[in-house]
Amino acid sequence: MSSALDLVQTVYRAFAKGDIASVLGTLAPNIRWTEAEGGPYGGVFVGPEAVLDNVFMKLSGEWDEFTAVPHEFIAEGSTVVALGEYSGAYKATGKSFKAPFAHVWKFEDGKAVSFQQYTDTAVHQRPLQ
Protein backbone atom coordinates (compact mmCIF):
# COMPACT_ATOMS: atom_id res chain seq x y z
CA MET A 1 0.00 0.00 0.00
CA SER A 2 1.31 3.45 -0.89
CA SER A 3 1.86 6.06 1.75
CA ALA A 4 -0.36 9.14 1.88
CA LEU A 5 2.60 11.20 0.68
CA ASP A 6 3.10 8.91 -2.34
CA LEU A 7 -0.61 9.16 -3.17
CA VAL A 8 -0.63 12.97 -3.01
CA GLN A 9 2.47 13.25 -5.16
CA THR A 10 0.83 10.92 -7.69
CA VAL A 11 -2.26 13.16 -7.74
CA TYR A 12 -0.25 16.30 -8.56
CA ARG A 13 1.73 14.50 -11.29
CA ALA A 14 -1.51 13.25 -12.86
CA PHE A 15 -3.10 16.72 -12.65
CA ALA A 16 -0.04 18.27 -14.32
CA LYS A 17 -0.42 15.81 -17.22
CA GLY A 18 -4.16 16.48 -17.50
CA ASP A 19 -4.95 12.94 -16.35
CA ILE A 20 -8.10 13.82 -14.42
CA ALA A 21 -9.33 10.21 -14.49
CA SER A 22 -6.32 9.19 -12.37
CA VAL A 23 -6.89 12.12 -10.00
CA LEU A 24 -10.53 11.11 -9.56
CA GLY A 25 -9.46 7.49 -9.04
CA THR A 26 -7.57 8.55 -5.92
CA LEU A 27 -10.70 10.06 -4.35
CA ALA A 28 -12.94 8.06 -2.01
CA PRO A 29 -16.60 7.79 -3.06
CA ASN A 30 -17.51 10.06 -0.12
CA ILE A 31 -14.63 12.56 -0.41
CA ARG A 32 -15.40 15.93 1.11
CA TRP A 33 -13.66 18.45 -1.18
CA THR A 34 -13.59 22.03 0.15
CA GLU A 35 -12.68 24.95 -2.09
CA ALA A 36 -11.93 28.21 -0.25
CA GLU A 37 -14.93 30.48 0.27
CA GLY A 38 -14.52 33.67 -1.74
CA GLY A 39 -12.71 31.85 -4.53
CA PRO A 40 -14.16 31.23 -7.97
CA TYR A 41 -15.40 27.75 -7.01
CA GLY A 42 -15.81 28.16 -3.25
CA GLY A 43 -17.85 25.52 -1.49
CA VAL A 44 -17.96 21.92 -0.37
CA PHE A 45 -18.39 19.11 -2.89
CA VAL A 46 -19.03 15.51 -1.87
CA GLY A 47 -17.98 12.66 -4.13
CA PRO A 48 -15.69 12.48 -7.17
CA GLU A 49 -18.49 13.38 -9.63
CA ALA A 50 -19.21 16.60 -7.72
CA VAL A 51 -15.49 17.47 -7.74
CA LEU A 52 -15.31 16.79 -11.47
CA ASP A 53 -18.39 18.91 -12.26
CA ASN A 54 -17.77 21.81 -9.87
CA VAL A 55 -13.99 22.11 -9.97
CA PHE A 56 -12.11 20.27 -12.72
CA MET A 57 -14.59 20.89 -15.56
CA LYS A 58 -14.71 24.58 -14.69
CA LEU A 59 -10.92 24.83 -14.50
CA SER A 60 -10.49 23.26 -17.93
CA GLY A 61 -13.33 25.25 -19.48
CA GLU A 62 -12.55 28.66 -18.02
CA TRP A 63 -8.74 28.77 -17.72
CA ASP A 64 -5.77 28.49 -20.05
CA GLU A 65 -2.71 26.71 -18.72
CA PHE A 66 -4.07 26.43 -15.16
CA THR A 67 -1.49 24.82 -12.91
CA ALA A 68 -1.26 23.81 -9.27
CA VAL A 69 2.42 23.18 -8.60
CA PRO A 70 3.42 21.95 -5.15
CA HIS A 71 6.84 22.98 -3.84
CA GLU A 72 6.79 21.29 -0.45
CA PHE A 73 4.99 18.44 1.28
CA ILE A 74 4.50 17.94 4.99
CA ALA A 75 3.27 14.48 5.93
CA GLU A 76 2.10 13.04 9.24
CA GLY A 77 0.46 9.66 9.08
CA SER A 78 -2.62 9.81 6.87
CA THR A 79 -2.52 13.62 6.51
CA VAL A 80 -0.45 15.48 3.91
CA VAL A 81 -0.12 19.23 3.47
CA ALA A 82 1.01 20.44 0.04
CA LEU A 83 2.35 23.98 -0.27
CA GLY A 84 2.64 25.47 -3.72
CA GLU A 85 1.46 27.96 -6.30
CA TYR A 86 -1.47 28.26 -8.67
CA SER A 87 -1.18 30.03 -12.01
CA GLY A 88 -3.24 30.42 -15.13
CA ALA A 89 -5.02 32.86 -17.42
CA TYR A 90 -8.78 33.36 -17.34
CA LYS A 91 -10.09 32.78 -20.87
CA ALA A 92 -12.85 35.41 -20.77
CA THR A 93 -10.51 38.28 -19.83
CA GLY A 94 -7.06 37.02 -20.83
CA LYS A 95 -5.78 38.09 -17.41
CA SER A 96 -3.41 35.82 -15.54
CA PHE A 97 -2.60 35.26 -11.89
CA LYS A 98 -0.28 33.50 -9.48
CA ALA A 99 -1.34 32.70 -5.93
CA PRO A 100 0.10 30.56 -3.18
CA PHE A 101 -1.87 27.59 -1.89
CA ALA A 102 -1.93 25.13 0.96
CA HIS A 103 -3.86 21.90 0.45
CA VAL A 104 -4.64 19.59 3.35
CA TRP A 105 -5.32 16.00 2.27
CA LYS A 106 -6.58 13.20 4.52
CA PHE A 107 -6.53 9.54 3.50
CA GLU A 108 -8.22 6.34 4.64
CA ASP A 109 -7.60 2.92 3.11
CA GLY A 110 -5.55 4.36 0.25
CA LYS A 111 -8.17 6.92 -0.87
CA ALA A 112 -8.49 10.66 -0.24
CA VAL A 113 -11.46 11.27 2.06
CA SER A 114 -10.88 14.99 2.59
CA PHE A 115 -9.34 17.91 0.70
CA GLN A 116 -9.20 21.45 2.12
CA GLN A 117 -7.94 24.36 0.01
CA TYR A 118 -6.35 27.51 1.45
CA THR A 119 -5.38 30.30 -0.95
CA ASP A 120 -5.47 34.05 -1.44
CA THR A 121 -8.93 34.18 -2.99
CA ALA A 122 -8.68 37.90 -3.76
CA VAL A 123 -5.68 37.26 -6.02
CA HIS A 124 -7.45 34.28 -7.60
CA GLN A 125 -10.53 36.40 -8.35
CA ARG A 126 -8.71 39.34 -10.03
CA PRO A 127 -8.47 37.78 -13.52
CA LEU A 128 -12.24 37.25 -13.54
CA GLN A 129 -12.87 41.00 -13.43
1 — pLDDT class (breaks 50, 70, 90): low
> Whole-model pTM above 0.85?
yes
Q: What is the CATH number of the domain that holds 58?
A: 3.10.450.50
For residue 125, what pLDDT band results from cuts at 50, 70 and 90?
Answer: confident
Say how far apart CA 117 and CA 83 lie, in whole Å: 10
Q: Write down the pLDDT at residue 129.
A: 86
**Predicted confidence (pLDDT) per residue in 79-100, tens digit:** 999 999 999 999 999 999 999 9
Domain total in the chain: 1
Give residue 47's pLDDT band: very low, low, confident or very high (50, 70, 90).
Answer: very high
What is the domain range of residue 19? 4-128
Long-range contacts, 61-64 (Cβ 8 Å, 24+): 61/91, 62/90, 62/91, 62/92, 63/88, 63/89, 63/90, 63/91, 64/88, 64/89, 64/90, 64/91
pLDDT of residue 62: 95
